[in-house]
Structure 1
Amino acid sequence: MNRSKGNNSRTVKDSNSTETEMSPNAYRLINNEEKPPDIQIGKENSWIAGVQMFVSFLLAGFGMVAASLLLDVVQHWDVFVQVPEVYILVPALLGLKGNLEMTLASRMSTHAHLGHLDKHLKPLVVGNLCLIQCQAVLVGFLAAMAAVAMGWIPRGEFDIHHAMLLCASSVLTASLASFVLGLIMIGVIVVSKKVNINPDNIATPIAASLGDLTTLALLSWIASLLFKSLGTNILLPALLIIAGAVLVPACGYVAWKNNFTKQALDEGWIPVISGMVISSTGGLILGYTVSNYKGVAVFQLVINGIGGNMAAVHASRLSTLLHTGQKEESVFSNTTKLLMLMVIPGQLIFVYTISYLKAGHTSVTPIFILIYMCAALLQVLLLLTISHYLVVWMWKLGLDPDNSAIPYLTALGDLLGTTLLGIAFHILFAIGDKDSDLGD
């Protein structure tokens, strides 16, 4: 689907390859038939929508907890100990891959509402799988290069074997994870439409939940296998990197020729790279905060994950609303209320889960809960407000929010969450709620 930049019109090619102008408030099918959306987002039953979103947030949250526990195990594997750059690679690769899967989920949810899955499922599946393959492999390579640089600069030593292992592991992990998760996400959206569940409510959190766990598991397994042949067989990593280099232009060409994904291929790069830069700023703040308050680390995963997922759901719903010509005010007010109501129960579940598993380093006291919840509520309120204005602004510029909004929002979620959590811990320390884990 193509939206020409700088104006409010859309063009798509029908079966005879003729271009059709499209109103920004009425997105037509490829065969020029108009189909009203089957779910009016602003008129959904609030309780049903709330349950759908809350369940998906719980799944996403427990997925993050599972990924954290898995990381706690694999960090002691030989490859992580002997090649510490792999550990540096983890947050960058997981963040970038998560953005790709979440934008796919948002994009496919909009297509589902517009009826495209009924008549154009095959080109949608082929185009989007090729698109995320192209993006994932290239992004995986960039993430590996960043990890190599971050490991090389402090020590001043460059190890070609470590660099090859990182690049090959990252490229193969990104490719396999994108293919598997892409198929799963498309399946989730198709099934949700069949059973009359709004995919905008569940798809992006499920993508985030499965993305972190699957990508981390694959990366650890692949890196461990390649590490066993490190120093004796450099041919295999080289072949994997070459295969990735061939895959990027091949899949990019297929996505470029596909009317459903051409615009996404054109618009998707800057948001993903910009999101990485914003998240890196949050990483610098996290490093400073953790050095003073050990307990920040585990709660940072929860506050950032929940905040980012809520902003992604809001953006996905609003983008669908704009594509289908509904009034934006309804989704802003209704969705914001629903999501804000979920913050406290959702955060309480995960805070006490962390406490029960003894995964955190901070005593969960009433004053801690109060200040932590204030930080979480403020983060989500800011993210939802930013999400609304960002999506509407992109739409007016001629950009498709399904392709561009989520990477910015998840990155801002990381930045805001880390900053507000650091402030919360500083306040706790300042008012005397000190324990050994807060830095006393």
Structure 2
Amino acid sequence: MTSPPVAMYPIEKTGDEFSVSFRTDEEGIESVIIKPAGARASDSRTDSIETSSGSLKEKMPKKQETVCSFLLESQLPLILAGFGLVGTGLYLDYVSKSTLFSAIPVAFSLTTPLLDLKGNLEMNFASRLATCTHTGAMKTRKDLWGLVRANAGLSQSHTITVSLAIAALCILIDFSMGGWPIVILLATAVSTASISSLFIDFCLVMVILIATRFKFNPDNVSIPLASSIGDLSTLFFFASIGWLQLFCYSNKCSFISLVTLTIFLATLPFWFWLASSHSSTRSALYTGWVTLIMSAIISGGGGYVLQKVHSRYDGYTILQPLLVGLVGNRCAIQASRLASNLHVSDLQMGKAPKGSLCKSFNPLTTFCGKDIHSKVALTMIFAAMPTQLFFAVIVLAIGGYQHMINAPFCISYLLASLFLLIVFMFFCQVIVGELCALCYVTSPNLLFFDVCWRLGLDPDYNAIPLLTSLSDLLGSLLLLLVFVSLDKYSPNSIARIMPVADVNSTTPTYALLQELNELSTYSKNPVLL
């Protein structure tokens, strides 16, 4: 098929002239490309409107971004996110001694994957809306409302279903638990995930609208806030709702847990319908489950490590959310930026230039490239070191662990953080590139990425969950390695055994724990040691 000649069309409002060209790809799909007259094809700042198979896709004018502009836009949200993670660590350390975690120890295993799930879904939510602002899909109130409504429905569908699966998996791992504690844990997990999702989605929509209003890149602003708001609020809802469920049980109203679980599960058809009502979320409703379930299983390993270690090493509980959170925030920012850049580019999903496979798996591309993404990756790595030390000192001082503020521990902690950041910045390049089909993978050793290519997985839905769940697991293991190493070579720099809280046998809490012990089958491992 011969392409029609390029024509010049005047624009009545401005008097500018645009060149209109026609392109036909290998599959016979004809596209119309509209660009300003005289613009180079490689100019990334050119406005363009491209239609393919009858669908219109408008690309917003792209402002040239520099490292300085990135720092100005991202540092305040990252600092606020750091304080949010400090609050999460302090609150987790506080509630770890509460009735919920004493009565149902498996709740500790559920904490990390539940926080990771909420962080993944809300960062995905923020990344999708940020991509929509870049592509010009949220210009009118009608478009905005339609996208927000559909994405909220998608988040709720994923949240309720996967949180139920995570809770069931944790119960199966610790299969000795039975009776009403199972219902209490399931109801707490599902209601926490759903309520916190609605709250965080509302906050993120406000943040993205404000960032767009002031000409900030929403990728730099919304992602760290999504993580920090999500972790702290989800943990607060989890502890509060769990305490409320136990309170109802102690007052002979145990049926409330079953009613709560039934109500939230009954809303699932409505959320599925809402998510399927928009074309941008319809495909993700059916294809996004595999990545979420994989990430939940991976982060469940981090939760298992937390459950086993929190009573062995003093200070581990308070530092684990901080280490994995600060690393995960920066990886999510980079993943969202790469995904947005690929969505507004002319690259088609499943097609890529020659040689991109070696480029994607080359660490020099991530850290030594001349593009803005390599510079941003290096900037985030070096800027994260003083930030990690600053927040670690704050959380240890406030939490009453001043004895751990010493040279051996601080150096070990910073080395662990540096290693994690370098590894996961490289993972960003690989995972986002492969998910978006930047290169065709034919090696049998890279079967997973080949499957992702063939399925056409969108990085806005799939990259961030994989990155954050892996950072949860590896960060938890690396922090454990820090504590084990210091325990062996510098035992004075940490405190090993955390004192067990004394519970008076005459208090209602003791009676409730005794009753739950009788209902469960923890015969060899009672909740009160």
* Shorter-normalised TM range: 0.7 to 0.9
Which of residues 112, 128, 140 in structure 1 aligns to 2:133?
Answer: 112
Which of residues 41, 65, 77 in structure 2 aligns to 1:56?
Answer: 77
Q: Percent identity?
A: 28
Check the 8 A contact 2:156/2:194 in 1, yes or no.
Answer: yes
Check the 8 A contact 1:332/1:388 in 2, yes or no.
Answer: no
Check the 8 A contact 2:93/2:318 in 1, yes or no.
Answer: no
Is 1:351 matched with 2:392? yes
Cα deviation for residue 265 of structure 1 reads: 1.3
Equivalent-residue separation in structure 2 for 1:286 and 1:87 (angstroms)? 7
Gaps of 5+ in 1: 1-6, 12-24
Match of 2:407?
A: 366
Question: Map of 1:119-130 to 2, 5 A cutoff?
Answer: 119=140, 120-130=143-153
Equivalent-residue separation in structure 1 for 2:233 and 2:28 (angstroms)? 39
Match of 1:183?
A: 202
Between Structure 1 and Structure 2, the one with more helix by share is 1
Is 1:332 matched with 2:373? yes
Which of residues 245, 250, 255 in structure 1 aligns to 2:265?
Answer: 245
Check the 8 A contact 1:293/1:425 in 2, yes or no.
Answer: yes
Gaps of 5+ in 2: 1-25, 31-43, 348-364, 438-452, 498-529
Check the 8 A contact 2:108/2:303 in 1, yes or no.
Answer: no
Question: Map of 1:262-301 to 2, 5 A cutoff?
Answer: 262-285=282-305, 293-301=313-321
Cα deviation for residue 35 of structure 1 reads: 3.2
Equivalent-residue separation in structure 1 for 2:295 and 2:155 (angstroms)? 17
- Which sits farther off after the overlay, 142-151 or 45-54? 142-151
Check the 8 A contact 1:173/1:218 in 2, yes or no.
Answer: yes
Cα deviation for residue 437 of structure 1 reads: 1.7
Aligned length: 414
Equivalent-residue separation in structure 1 for 2:260 and 2:306 (angstroms)? 34
Cα deviation for residue 402 of structure 1 reads: 0.3
Is 1:302 matched with 2:322? yes
Which of residues 457, 471, 480 in structure 2 aligns to 1:399?
Answer: 457
Match of 2:422?
A: 381
Is 1:419 matched with 2:477? yes
Match of 2:167?
A: 144
Check the 8 A contact 1:29/1:116 in 2, yes or no.
Answer: no
- Classify 1:29/1:103 alpha carbon distance in 2 versus 1 (closer, same or farther; 3 Å): farther
Which of residues 119, 131, 135 in structure 1 aligns to 2:154?
Answer: 131
Normalising by structure 1, what TM-score? 0.85
Q: What secondary structure sits across from 2:388 in the alignment?
A: helix
Check the 8 A contact 1:300/1:421 in 2, yes or no.
Answer: yes
Work out which structure has the larger RCO, using CA pairs closer than 8 Å and 6 or more positions apart in sequence: 1
Equivalent-residue separation in structure 2 for 1:394 and 1:239 (angstroms)? 40
Q: Residue type of the partner of 1:181?
A: I
Is 1:208 matched with 2:227? yes
Bigger-Rg structure (1/2) = 2
Check the 8 A contact 1:303/1:376 in 2, yes or no.
Answer: yes
Equivalent-residue separation in structure 2 for 1:164 and 1:10 (angstroms)? 53
Match of 1:69?
A: 90
Check the 8 A contact 1:79/1:86 in 2, yes or no.
Answer: yes
Match of 2:114?
A: 93
Equivalent-residue separation in structure 1 for 2:485 and 2:92 (angstroms)? 30
Equivalent-residue separation in structure 2 for 1:308 and 1:199 (angstroms)? 17
Match of 2:5?
A: none
Deviations 1:116-144 (A, max 9, x none): 11131111011011111111111222233
Check the 8 A contact 2:109/2:303 in 1, yes or no.
Answer: no
- Classify 1:331/1:301 alpha carbon distance in 2 versus 1 (closer, same or farther; 3 Å): same
Question: Map of 1:306-325 to 2, 5 A cutoff?
Answer: 306-325=326-345
Q: Residue type of the partner of 1:338?
A: T
Match of 2:280?
A: 260
- Classify 1:437/1:88 alpha carbon distance in 2 versus 1 (closer, same or farther; 3 Å): same
Q: What secondary structure sits across from 1:233 in the alignment?
A: coil
Equivalent-residue separation in structure 2 for 1:338 and 1:76 (angstroms)? 39
Which of residues 238, 255, 260 in structure 2 aligns to 1:219?
Answer: 238
- Classify 1:281/1:70 alpha carbon distance in 2 versus 1 (closer, same or farther; 3 Å): closer
Match of 2:521?
A: none
Check the 8 A contact 1:29/1:114 in 2, yes or no.
Answer: no
Q: What secondary structure sits across from 2:280 in the alignment?
A: coil
Q: Residue type of the partner of 2:431?
A: L
Equivalent-residue separation in structure 1 for 2:70 and 2:290 (angstroms)? 32
Q: Residue type of the partner of 1:402?
A: D
- Which sits farther off after the overlay, 380-389 or 271-280? 271-280
Check the 8 A contact 2:67/2:372 in 1, yes or no.
Answer: no
Equivalent-residue separation in structure 1 for 2:110 and 2:304 (angstroms)? 15
Cα deviation for residue 286 of structure 1 reads: 5.1
Equivalent-residue separation in structure 2 for 1:206 and 1:66 (angstroms)? 13
Equivalent-residue separation in structure 2 for 1:165 and 1:430 (angstroms)? 40
Q: Residue type of the partner of 1:414?
A: D
- Classify 1:73/1:351 alpha carbon distance in 2 versus 1 (closer, same or farther; 3 Å): closer
Cα deviation for residue 361 of structure 1 reads: 7.2
Which of residues 60, 64, 70 in structure 2 aligns to 1:37?
Answer: 60
Over aligned residues, Cα RMSD in angstroms?
3.0
Check the 8 A contact 1:367/1:433 in 2, yes or no.
Answer: no
- Classify 1:365/1:405 alpha carbon distance in 2 versus 1 (closer, same or farther; 3 Å): same
Cα deviation for residue 52 of structure 1 reads: 2.4
Q: What secondary structure sits across from 1:200 in the alignment?
A: helix
- Classify 1:8/1:425 alpha carbon distance in 2 versus 1 (closer, same or farther; 3 Å): farther
Q: Residue type of the partner of 2:123?
A: M
Check the 8 A contact 2:119/2:227 in 1, yes or no.
Answer: yes
Cα deviation for residue 158 of structure 1 reads: 1.1
Cα deviation for residue 48 of structure 1 reads: 2.5
Cα deviation for residue 307 of structure 1 reads: 0.8
- Classify 1:205/1:251 alpha carbon distance in 2 versus 1 (closer, same or farther; 3 Å): same
Equivalent-residue separation in structure 2 for 1:9 and 1:391 (angstroms)? 28
